[in-house]
């Protein structure tokens, strides 16, 4: 009778297991990582970069469903804009669309791309050129729209760049073309097409497109002017 009981229990367990699916930690982690990676690649497709993903928070347990179909794994973003460290919600459902497990994960997205890097120490106000910079692969997830993909010239550092650091666009300005105290043509332009040119003195150095103060010789009055070239500045009137 004892043997019959053992056989009966074995038959029940075998029958039940035939209608269950066991989703292991490794399988679940792989599914989530693939989904998160595909989402990141789609979001960052315009950057033509190498993407890597690190995931934390996947429960280290086997998830058992009540049917033998492969569970559905949904990864839902909880942020609308890209963040290199983001939180996502994972929902695991069985073949009958019943929720089996819900948990949150942290996804770290690493973005690698060839960008401009300091090949030596570049001090504040130091010139940036192809002699003190190189193109190298760097992790840029925090600087997606703030890097250079090629060499630059006529540029000055607005901050200190240690050797090996990424050259950031907000840390660079164009090299000044107007020298402080130099004589320039001050061109006054009106919306109606009126144009008047006077001689003046630049009271500050400036790059093309920058606003600098200038003082005209004729009226000895100071104006805020936009640098147009090394010898000409524009004032809108």
Phi/psi at 48 (5° precision) = 50, 55
Residue 18 reports pLDDT greater than 70: no
- 201 pLDDT band, cuts 50/70/90, is very high
- Per-residue model confidence (pLDDT) at position 8: 43
Residue 41 reports pLDDT greater than 70: yes
- 192 pLDDT band, cuts 50/70/90, is confident
Torsion of CA 57, 63, 65, 71, to 10 degrees: 50
CA distance 130 to 74: 47
- Per-residue model confidence (pLDDT) at position 1: 53
- Per-residue model confidence (pLDDT) at position 98: 93
Residue 146 reports pLDDT greater than 80: yes
Apex 152 CA angle, 123 and 182, nearest 5: 70
- 20 pLDDT band, cuts 50/70/90, is confident
Residue 202 reports pLDDT greater than 50: yes
Write the pLDDT tens digit of every residue in 209-222.
899 999 998 888 99
Q: What is the DSSP string of 47-78?
A: G--EEEEEEE---SS-EEESSSSPPEEEEEES
Number of H helices, E strands in the chain: 2, 15
In the predicted model, what is the mean pLDDT of the chain?
90
Burial of 139 (0-12, 13-18, 19+ CB in 10 A): middle
Torsion of CA 57, 62, 67, 71, to 10 degrees: 30
Write the pLDDT tens digit of every residue in 91-122.
999 989 999 999 999 999 999 999 999 999 99
- Long-range contacts, 52-57 (Cβ 8 Å, 24+): 52/109, 52/110, 52/112, 53/107, 53/108, 53/109, 53/110, 54/107, 54/108, 54/110, 55/29, 55/105, 55/106, 55/107, 55/108, 56/105, 56/106, 56/108, 57/103, 57/104, 57/105, 57/106
* Mean pLDDT for the stretch of residues 36-41: 95
Decide: 14 and 78 in contact? Cβ < 8 Å: no
Lowest model confidence (mean pLDDT) among 67-71, 133-137, 149-153, 177-181: 67-71
Q: Nearest to residue 184, comparing CAs of 197, 196, 201? A: 201
């Amino acid at each position: 009778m004892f043997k019959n009981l053992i056989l009966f229990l074995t038959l029940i367990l075998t029958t039940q297991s035939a209608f269950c699916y066991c989703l292991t930690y490794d399988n679940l982690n792989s599914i989530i990582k693939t989904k998160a990676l595909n989402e990141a690649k789609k979001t960052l497709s315009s950057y033509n970069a190498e993407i890597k993903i690190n995931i934390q928070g996947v429960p280290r347990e086997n998830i058992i469903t009540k049917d033998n179909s492969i569970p559905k794994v949904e990864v839902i973003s909880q942020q609308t804009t890209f963040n290199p460290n983001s939180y996502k919600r994972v929902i695991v459902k069985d073949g009958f669309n019943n929720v089996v497990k819900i948990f949150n994960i942290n996804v770290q997205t690493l973005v690698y791309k060839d960008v401009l890097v300091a090949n030596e120490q570049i001090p504040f106000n130091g010139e940036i050129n192809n002699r003190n910079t190189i193109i190298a692969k760097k992790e840029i997830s925090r600087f997606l729209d703030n890097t250079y993909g090629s060499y630059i010239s006529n540029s000055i550092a607005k901050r200190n760049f240690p050797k090996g650091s990424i050259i950031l666009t907000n840390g660079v300005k164009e090299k000044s073309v107007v020298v402080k105290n130099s004589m320039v043509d001050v061109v006054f332009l009106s919306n109606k097409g009126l144009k008047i040119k006077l001689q003046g003195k630049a009271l500050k150095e400036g790059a093309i497109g920058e606003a600098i103060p200038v003082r005209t010789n004729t009226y000895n009055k100071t104006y805020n002017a936009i640098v147009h070239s090394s010898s000409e500045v524009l004032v809108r009137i």
